Amino acid sequence: MGKIGHLIYQEKIVDSTQFLAASLASEGAEEGVVVSANIQTAGRGQKKRTWYTGEGDNIAMSIILKPHLLPHECPQITLLAAVAVVQAIEEVTSLKPTIKWPNDILINEKKLVGILTEMKISQNELQHIILGIGMNVNVSLELLDKEIRHIATSISIETGNQFDKINLMKVIFDKLEILYRQFLENGFTAIKPLWEKYATIVRNEVIANVNGIQIEGKATGISNNGILLIEDNMGKIHELYSADISMKSAQK
């Protein structure tokens, strides 16, 4: 098993690092290989959204993982990646980011990092996971895409300082390596409280929108499978795999 980040393909411009990493993985690239780019022309986000990586010295990278896991265990990789990225930001900067379920990393309620986990399954067997991480590092407010300026931010906007993105990537790899090996050996149990510590919705009243249906209640945490648990006012626990979540106070 190669260490995360033992080999990095550093590209100037690609369509999406996810595509390049997926084709390398299918051609036999080892676990831990990373594809990183300065600019993406077709960066991809969750729910078929686009992810903007333009000028401004940001992180756009995709990490190849080849764990022996069942496909339904893979969402936990996204959660542990979010914890690793928050830990890295805390170590390198003075910022205290939070996690918005399942995998957005926010500062002052603005998005700083997006994580996209994609897997290839063949004959019910997991072939590889491509863990994509996009982080706004040194981009200024002026260089942020106009459409996202009101909802996104960068480390330099928040701190007023520039950061070495290569060093940040290295710290992310180190944190990921620890949590990923821990997860493969002992499961999600030790990672769950770390995720819950950083997730702002845990212990708060929320409104979840699941395919147009609203569920109101208190987010009590996540299950060992990484499923969000919401307790409604009748005491019923709802298990959510995917939903748009907002805090109740934020709605008013």
Q: Shortest distance, CB of residue 236 to ligand BTN, whole angstroms?
A: 30
Pairing of strands 213-222, 110-122: unpaired
Whether residue 65 contacts residue 180, with contact meaning beta carbons closer than 8 Å, is answered with yes
How many residues interact with ligand BTN (rule CB under 6 A)? 21
Question: Among 181, 175, 165, 164, which residue's Cα sits nearest to residue 198?
Answer: 175
Residues 6+ apart with CB under 8 A from 87: 175
Specify the stretch interacting with ligand BTN by CB under 6 A; choose among 54-62, 151-159, 232-240, 243-251: 54-62
For ligand BTN, the binding residues in 10-39 under the rule CB under 6 A are 16-18
Task: Give the nearest distance from C-beta 62 to ligand BTN in angstroms.
Answer: 5
Contact letters for ligand BTN, residues 94-123 (x by CB under 6 A): ----------x---------xxx-------
Strand stretches in 73-192, DSSP E: 98-100, 104-107, 110-122, 125-135
Residues 198-227 that bind ligand BTN (CB under 6 A): none
Q: How far is the CB of 237 from ligand BTN (least distance, A)?
A: 27
Place of tokens 């994580």: 115
- Closest CB to ligand BTN among residues 55, 125: 55
Q: Find the shortest distance in angstroms from Cβ 233 to ligand BTN.
A: 31
C-alpha span between 207 and 45 (Å, rounded): 23
